[in-house]
Chain A
Amino acid sequence: GEQVEQLPSILRVQEGSSASINCSYEDSASNYFPWYKQEPGENPKLIIDIRSNMERKQIQELIVLLDKKAKRFSLHITDTQPGDSAMYFCAASARHTGYQNFYFGKGTSLTVIP
């Protein structure tokens, strides 16, 4: 199946600074790239996503960038707060005949230091 690389696996930042997580994918048919935040003991929840017809999307302090040529996409959290501390997962989804699959990166553990 699709391989999604996610880096870094661990990220510690000071409150108020920015945090960046990078992902790359292999399947050129991938056309949808969601990001999930998972807090301890909780299920993953969608926080932002981007489709292949866009290069940039922003929702409040969350920015996602997509470079289709390089097959890379990234999440940037500006002005981080302690509440942003969690596991973050990127995913790439490709539509194939009859189904659309989702593959996840291995996750980034973000800690925002007050």
Chain B
Amino acid sequence: GALVYQYPRRTICKSGTSMRMECQAVGFQATSVAWYRQSPQKTFELIALSTVNSAIKYEQNFTQEKFPISHPNLSFSSMTVLNAYLEDRGLYLCGARGQANTGQLYFGEGSKLTVL
């Protein structure tokens, strides 16, 4: 079946440092990967959508300069939170969608970022 592995599960970093998280699709080809941040209040914020062979589309309030994303192939995507500060804390989730499936988004287990 389709699985999405996401790591690291948890990171604690100092204010001003960066954190990189990775998302690996297993069992299907992830033609698009959406990165979300889930706040402590559980709200999902879409950060950006990365589609292979297309430009990465960032949502308002999120920029490539702050959240650079790499999606080099159909099984892997990574996102970095640069210069993390307190407001960046939360659970970062990648959701991968395959070309052949019915549109379902498979979520990774999330990378929890704590900023000190």
Partner of A101, one of B46, B93, B104: B46
A98 CB contacts on chain B under 8 angstroms: 51, 54
B36 CB contacts on chain A under 8 angstroms: 104
Main secondary structure of the interface of A (DSSP, over half): strand
Residues of B in contact (CB 8 Å), total 27
> Is B43 a contact of A103 with CB atoms below 8 Å?
no
Query: Which residues of chain B in 50-68 are interfacial with respect to chain A, using CB atoms and an 8 Å cutoff?
Result: 51, 54, 57, 59-60
Is A82's CB within 8 Å of the partner chain B? no
User: A104 to B95, alpha carbons, bound, how many Å?
Assistant: 12
**Closest B residue, CB atoms, query A44:** B107
User: A36 to B44, alpha carbons, bound, how many Å?
Assistant: 12
Q: Which residues of A contact B (CB under 8 A)?
A: 1, 32, 34, 36, 38, 42-46, 49, 51, 87, 89, 91, 93, 98-104, 106-107, 109
> Is B107 a contact of A43 with CB atoms below 8 Å?
yes
> Is A103 a contact of B57 with CB atoms below 8 Å?
no
> Is A87 a contact of B105 with CB atoms below 8 Å?
no
Most B CB contacts (10 A, CB to CB) among A1, A99, A101, A107 go to: A99
